[in-house]
Structure 1
Amino acid sequence: MRINKCAAVTVGVVLIHSTLALAQSGVSQTDSQSSRLEEVVVTAQKRSENIRDVPISITVMSEQFLDEQGITDVNELSQLAPNLVITASPSFGAVTMRGLGSGNNKGFERSVSLAIDGIYYGRQDYLLEALADVKQVEVLRGPQGTLFGKNAIAGALNITTGQATDEFTGKLAVQGGDLNRERARFALAGPLIDGILNFRVSHDQDKKDGSVRNSVFDLDPADNPHRQNVDEFETARDIRISRLKLHAPNWVEGLDINFSATRAKVYGNGLGLQLIKAEDYTLDVFGRYDPQIEADNSDHQGSINQREDTNRIGNSYSLQFDYNLGDYLLTAIIGHSFFNRDQMFDADMGPIDAISLDIDDYYAQSSAEFRVASPQGEWLEWVAGAYLFDADIIGNSRLFLNTSKALEIVEAARTGGVSPVGRLANLLGLNNAAAASQNNDRFFDQNTRSLALFGQATWNVTDKLALIAGLRVSKERKVAQGILAHPDALSDIMFNIFLGEEGYDERGDRTEDDVSPKLSVRYNLSDEITFYGTYATAFKAGGYNEQAVTKDNFTFEPEQASTLETGVKTRFYDGAATLNIGLFYTEFDDLQVSLFDGINFSVGNAATATSYGAELDGQLIPNSWLVLGASIAYLHARYDEYPAAQCPFTTESESGDVCDLSGRELSRAPEWEVSFAPLVSLSRMIPLLGESIPVDIGVGITMTYRSHLYTTVDLDPVASMSGHTEVGGGLKLAGLDGDWEFTVSVKNATDKTILLGGNDVPIQPGSHAGVMAPGRRVFAEFTYHL
């Protein structure tokens, strides 16, 4: 089903009208209804505010809500927030919001900003730390350039974690279940020196086996020299996040000091790629090295001959000063973070020892933000400040090519009737005597320095009407060096034939200026109903392509976005219901894309794109034993102009083929998303049960429908996922005093086969590998609260 722009707006207007009619109808809750939804406070505008006062589309998830829904993985946030798609693992991380995201390239900035406790983090690797001791997740949709900076062109994730307190609090949670999962969460907070220094220590550890069986594990190493020391199951992980927080209240009158130190150790053993479509010649040549090879995407079985370990170790530190100068609040936040990350990847995606990739990255960032916030409740409220950011990414990688094995693949394609594509045909003319193992060496060093001045003011014209204006002025400089080298003349020849590589030592120095304004209007029809309208812009810097195969593809240009959004936020039934509706229209210029053409990666700017749609979410407590949560999102995200896009890599592909994707949808942009999450207290619903068993028994279900989406930029139908519904649920037992909980949860209860991402198998036209979501899993967790 398709809805055009006018229809989408009409639907939104009807929904808003219906909401007003319901909220003003005078219907009140029954006398037996005593539950209310808590007021939601967010920090989306650099100060604590009621969510209804923030004129943007926001989804907020508290720690309690995440626990009740059994959310234990950052990827699962996608099931609860409209128009949000997260794919994160130790090997790879990506976030798409309203159809916009960033490709996998070290030179790319992020499209969705990630902030944890007020600190911006410039790499998606930090996604795996987002739920460690989490207190609240704010999903801010649409450009957030004014207050969140240059890397919030599609939106922002604003995370708040547990704080040091002057009273002893804490919890201990342990979880086990399928995939030998062992998850432990510990947090303790309280006064270290009464009235002088408070603390909080936390540790989150999540360890599990992989969900994709590697059939190469069955091979006898003595008879199969290509078989390395592989694990039986891929996608295993071991994530350990430890954090210390210190809070010094009033060492100086009016001054609060907060310090945080985080240690992260992340391990994973591969993406879990498996063939989702294979040409006969692929099955033939791979079958010579693994007789169990197949292309069944539903059996969670892959076949790679090389270990794919990823290890990341890093530390993060922050220091925040809050000083009350009269009625004004002065804030300074200083942060520093770094990590080392090494990864091995079986780049031929199969059991043959043809291509492998070794990656070693170092990343470090430092930031400082200084701001002043005026008193709240005045006729004019404002926040203004300055932001400085410095980051270094240093990457070393080496691609290993066993030329004789690559020739074997190309020859198998030719024998199978597939004409080798482009440069691959040249491989057939090589002398086998010269077909030894070769490698390239790639080095990338990029420094980014940014300075921004920002401000936002709210003019409370009347008790009901407020006008909001914001502006961010930024300057960014990037200095980069990229080196692509080959250790000898033979490697130089081989990689030129194989990948079209031409060695280079290229340097770049670019400076970009940006002005991102924001204008909003907010109208409070009543204390419970707020209308808003917003115009905002955002900017994502250009930069340098770490994966360039020649110096001519070393740079790419900045990306711009502007959006119009309007909506209504309501709270009614005496606080027992909320309903929020947002309509948006966003235009993107020079959209940055990264794609794999079956032979190498390319980076560029894809002309223009438009994203518009509607988002609706709400909660309702109809009685004392039931809580209903639901959301609906419609998204129309299309390329306006993209006449020279890459074509899918097929057996009919010709060298230099381009496809016109103008008018086609963006990748990872489903047209419809619908979620429904009821929570039922059986103890309250059945009085006899509550009287006979001194615990609260609850049942929760999460159902998320997502319509068809493509997972690759070239919109290859093989790497797409049809419309599907993912179902999860849980049974919860809790002490009446709230001091303990026992939860049994199930993920993907219907064992649905879900494609998370796909790619062409290198040098094998028509064959594809993909990453599948795990099947049904059941977990049990016990939590004790101090």
Structure 2
Amino acid sequence: MNSKKITNMALTAIILMSSPFAYTQTLEEVIVTAQIREQSLQDVPISVSAIDGEVIEDRSVDNLQSLSASIPNFMVVETQIDTSISIRGVRSGANKGFEQSVPMNFDGVTYPRSQLARTPLVDLERVEVLRGPQPTLFGKNAIGGAVSVTSAKPTEEFEGKFSTSFESEHDESQSLVVLSGPLSDDLLGRLTVSTREMDGWITNQRMKRVEPQRDETYIRGQLAWTDNNDIDYNLKVETADFDSVGYAMEALAPQDGYGLVFAGPIAVETNEDWVRSSGETFSQNTMDNFVFTSNIPLDNGGTLTSITSMVEYDSYEVLDVDYVALEILDGTNQTEKYEQTSQEIRYTSPGGEDLDYIVGAYFQSADVDVTDYVPLGSFLALAGPPVSMLVGTNWDRLYKQSSEMYSVFGQADINLEGNWKLTVGARYSNEDKDGSRNLTLDGTGTALAGSPMLNVLWAAVLNVGPHNIASSRSESSFDPMVRLSYDLSDNAQMYVSYTEGSKAGGFDIRGNSIPGTPLVSSAGGWEFEEEKATNIEWGYKMKSDRASFDFTYFTTEYEDLQTSVFDGVLGFKVGNASAAELDGFEMQGRYLIAEGLEFYGSLASLNYEFTDWKNSQCAYGEVATNGIYCDRSGASVILAPEDTANAGFAYETVLSNNWVLDANLNVDYSSEYFVTTNLDKNIKENGYSKVGLVLGLESSDGKWRLSLIGDNLTDERIKVVGGTIPLARVFVGLASGGALDGIAYDAIYARPKNIAIKLDYNF
């Protein structure tokens, strides 16, 4: 999108938001804590989208993936092995050794692991999405942005809520119970319990069931009290079980010889028809969280805050990672166990002075254990010896990592003469990591038991080699930020900022070999280095009684990008292989058209370009430019549509019987984007417009509410993420004696049309 078009769109929006009509009703102010302090959204000089907890509840949104569809330049996808958060096209690759480029911050506690991004979103005050590097206040690894989630707090008056909803097409039911109020003169409590069950929408012919199934239970308890010195304490304890069965996946787009080889009795279903066929797949996850927060008011009006937390989760998954009905890699399973303790102490000055500042220190200790077990199934027998000799053999991979990190940070707002404000901030971090990876091959019960041919065949067919490696690393980083803002009036400001960000290096969890592994070609790496970013933004924000509007232009350079490149067989090569530049804009606004009728909209444009990535995996049919790799310099990236937008109307009116009718019509738009890391054009998402509608009827006393909630009413078939079916080319070559080449793909899809009915009772 060219600069002239951007300018015209921004000017049109400003004129619209500033139109001279007046009404008795005023636009409700949105409060955020993107800079730790409570501020109006329009006063925060960064690109941030905020979604109120009531809106999340009314739309029956219960996870980040569902929420992300309505926030431009923000995408959350649940893949076969993890959950990925992307802002402005910046995300972590599919390797559990990578720190998250966009961490989730829940009630002041960083959730750095992808599995924690699946935490249910229930009973919240708000969710804030901060775009661009956010290292100063949200940690060194927030190189792409941050997602800040704030839960609803205990109330001084007793209140309760019961909510239940049902969606018939996918047999989904959800329930929520909230109890909040005083337990004594100084003690408040809040209990939140939610459950969700769903059958899914894709028929798995082999397993004779509908997928993806969901079974989730979430419990949060909070105690809040104030002592005689006006010190506020809050204790939060959470526990959750979120389990799933199957994928929202289909095999599709067979190329060349694939359809000839996988035909007849071994046919693979590749029609896009909500039908798939594969073996057993499920994921079982438990999460426990403890957070103790103290806010200590000081005599000078400032506040000393302490946040102590312990987070842990266990994950056990059984996977059919060949993604087809044939028994090739069925029974693959992996586990992940994570434990984290953290302590943050910060001082926040009173605010409203010529110098407002925040200073603090942070410490985190974490341990992660990951196992990965892959057996080879009976389909290999069709290939004949010596490949058929691998049937019944397996690999077993164990990864362990421990880390300790500390950091100090500060940010100061300095009021200058003439409506100018200078903001400076920085975070210094130091992190030590110890990691080890052990991969063994086992042929027990087969003809290869104890034979050196076991290693030879695994290397020749699957590029896997046994190994045992361990090492330690230590790194430090300094991430500064400078921002200059100018108040054009009491209701408008402009700002420009410069930020540096970094993301920690580490060790490769998923590797199947290491440099020097005997018999294995193109062996994967083991250690990767720190990733860095430099970001410049210019923004404008305005507000009035009936309108708000903000616009941000950004340009960012990334160096030493951590990449994970599929070797075309079964493994990945990890390293710092690329650099990228991106630029674009985000704009969003709200406008009160008349009493009870509000228009809201947002629009984003993104141009993401690799400036140096010579060793990417080639797409099918693409000629290698560097040995076995392809040069992606000048190309875009996965999950980065050029244009995304959201728009809608919110309407509310009082009926003759004093009941309140409300309606919210919402449209999400995305242009085309790549869904595979090798940018294969055979499986792109071609773009979509998705419509949602919420109709609500609420009693005059606010106790009862009945809602009809529709999502994806246009029934768009949306590819979320995709890839190459593992071993597809290998088996086509084996079956045809090398005479044929061919491939097919797999894709995970967003949920199709669904309409739920929801009943709320407040007491």
Task: Tell me the TM-score normalized by structure 1.
Answer: 0.89
Task: Find 2:249's aligned residue among 245, 263, 273.
Answer: 273
Match for residue 295 of structure 1? 270
Deviates more, 1:487-496 or 1:99-108: 487-496
Matches within 5 A, 1:356-395: 356=330, 357-395=332-370
- What pairs with 1:541-690 in structure 2 (closer than 5 Å)? 541-552=504-515, 553-572=525-544, 575-599=545-569, 600-650=571-621, 656-681=627-652, 683=653, 690=655
Once the 2 structures are TM-superposed, how far is the Cα of residue 596 of structure 1 from its aligned partner? Answer: 2.9
Distance 1:651 1:611 in 2: 25
8 Å contact 1:150–1:539 — kept in the other structure?
yes
**Which residues in structure 2 correspond to 1:39-438 (within 5 Å)?**
39-88=29-78, 92-177=82-167, 178-194=169-185, 196-216=186-206, 230=207, 232-249=209-226, 251-279=227-255, 282-283=258-259, 293-297=268-272, 299-304=273-278, 306-326=279-299, 327-356=301-330, 357-402=332-377, 405-406=379-380, 408=382, 411=383, 430=386, 432=388, 434-438=389-393
C-alpha distance in structure 2 between counterparts of 1:641 and 1:85, whole Å: 24
Change (3 A) 1:551 1:36: same
- Partners of 1:611 and 1:651 lie apart in 2 by 25
1:407 CA displacement: 5.5
1:697: which partner in 2?
Answer: 661
Give yes or no for contact 1:12–1:583 (8 Å, CA) kept in 2.
Answer: no
| Cα gap change, 1:206 to 1:650, in 2 (>3 Å) | farther
| Letter of the structure 2 residue corresponding to residue 446 of structure 1 | Q
CA separation of 1:288 and 1:394: change in aligned 2, threshold 3 A: farther
8 A contact 2:233–2:293 mirrored in 1:
yes
Query: Is contact 2:111–2:117 with CA below 8 Å preserved after alignment?
Result: no
Instruction: Kindly state the Cα deviation for residue 285 of structure 1 after the two structures are TM-superposed.
Output: 5.6
Residues 649 and 547 (structure 1), Cα distance of their counterparts in 2 relative to 1, 3 Å cut = farther
Q: What is the match of residue 510 of structure 1?
A: 473
Question: Which digits, 9 at most, give the CA deviation of each residue in 1:586-627, with x for residues without a partner?
Answer: 110011122434312222223210111011111111101311
**Kept in 2: contact 1:185–1:205 (CA 8 A):** yes
- CA displacement 1:10-40 (0-9 Å, x = unmatched): 4444555556666677x241xxx33222222
Give the corresponding residue for 2:733: none
Report the CA distance shift for 1:407/1:557 in structure 2 as closer, same or farther (over 3 A). Answer: farther
CA distance in 1, matches of 2:549, 2:338: 42
1:769 equivalent in structure 2: 746
2:715 aligned with 1:751: yes
Q: Report the equivalent of 1:519.
A: 482
- Residue by residue over 1:177-225, the C-alpha shift from the partner in whole angstroms, topping out at 9 and shown as x without a partner, is 131111011111101112x211000012111002110111xxxxxxxxx
- CA distance in 1 between counterparts of 2:105 and 2:57 reads 21
Correspondence 1:726 to 2:690: yes
Does the 8 Å CA contact 2:62/2:122 hold for their aligned counterparts?
no
The separation in 1 between residues aligned to 2:623 and 2:274, in whole angstroms, is 29
Which residue does 2:419 correspond to in 1? 464
AA aligned opposite 2:603:
I
Aligned partner of 1:322: which letter? N
Q: Say which of 403, 428, 449 aligns to 2:404.
A: 449
Deviates more, 1:336-345 or 1:763-772: 763-772
Higher mean Cα deviation, 10-19 or 58-67? 10-19
**Range with greater deviation from structure 2 (12-21 or 60-69):** 12-21
* CA distance 1:302–1:90, shift in 2 (3 Å): closer
Taking a change above 3 Å as real, the CA distance of residues 69 and 576 of structure 1, as seen in their structure-2 partners, is farther
| Superposed displacement of residue 74, structure 1 | 2.2
1:160–1:399 distance in 2 versus 1, CA, 3 Å = same
Q: 1:372 to 1:501 in 2, by over 3 A?
A: same
Query: How many angstroms apart in 1 are the aligned matches of 2:310 and 2:264?
Result: 50
Report SS of the residue matched to 1:179: coil
Contact 1:165 1:190 in 2 (8 A): yes
Judged with a 3 Å threshold, the aligned counterparts in structure 2 of structure 1 residues 171 and 190 are, in CA distance, closer, same or farther, namely same
Deviating more after overlay: 163-172 vs 336-345: 163-172
- Paired with 1:452 and 1:12, the residues of 2 have a C-alpha distance of 39
Deviation sequence 1:364-418 (CA, Å, 0-9, x none) = 111110001111111100000000111111011111113x52363xx5xxxxxxx
Q: Deviations over 1:124-150 (max 9, x none)?
A: 222222512222000000000111112
Which whole-Å CA distance do the structure 2 matches of 1:551 and 1:90 have between them?
24
Secondary structure at 1:494's aligned position in 2? helix
Counterparts of 2:285 and 2:264, CA distance in 1: 35
What runs of 5+ residues in structure 2 fail to find an aligned partner? 443-449, 516-524, 730-742
Gaps of 5+ in 1: 217-229, 412-427, 685-689
TM-superposed deviation, 1:718: 2.2
Question: Structure 1: how far apart are the matches of 2:133 and 2:674?
Answer: 23
- 1:343-374 per-residue CA deviation (whole Å, 9 max, x = no partner) reads 01101111111113210111111111000111
CA contact (8 A) 1:278 1:768 kept: yes
Structure 1 residues 11 and 652: alpha-carbon distance in aligned structure 2, compared to 1, 3 A threshold: closer
Return the offset for 1:524.
1.5
Asked if the contact 1:179–1:211 (Cα under 8 Å) also holds between the matched residues in 2, the reply is yes
8 Å contact from structure 1 (residues 319, 334) kept in 2: yes
Q: 1:707 aligns with which of 668, 671, 683?
A: 671
1:270 partner letter: G
Matched with 1:534 is 497
Structure-1 separation of matches of 2:579 and 2:626 = 25
Deviations 1:697-745 (A, max 9, x none): 2222111110010012210112310021111112211112322211111
Per mean C-alpha deviation after superposition, the further-off stretch among 627-636 and 496-505 is 496-505
The 1:731–1:431 alpha-carbon spacing in structure 2 relative to 1, beyond 3 Å, is: closer
1:639–1:91 CA distance, 2 compared to 1 (3 A): closer
CA distance in 2, matches of 1:40, 1:651: 50
Structure 2 CA distance for aligned equivalents of residues 732 and 463 of structure 1: 48
Secondary structure of the 1:48 match is strand
Q: CA deviation at 1:43?
A: 1.2
- After superposition, the Cα gap between the structure-2 partners of 1:501 and 1:41, relative to the gap in structure 1 and judged at 3 Å, is same
8 Å Cα contact 1:729-1:745 kept in structure 2: yes
Counterpart CA distance in 2 for 1:240 and 1:76 is: 18
Residues 133 and 204, structure 1, Cα contact 8 Å, conserved in 2: no
How far 1:79 sits from its partner (Å)? 2.4
Q: Distance in 1 between matches of 2:194 and 2:266?
A: 39
1:141-190 superposed Cα distances (whole Å, 9 cap, x missing partner): 00001111122100000000111122112221100013111101111110
The whole-number CA distance in structure 1 between the counterparts of 2:219 and 2:717 is 34
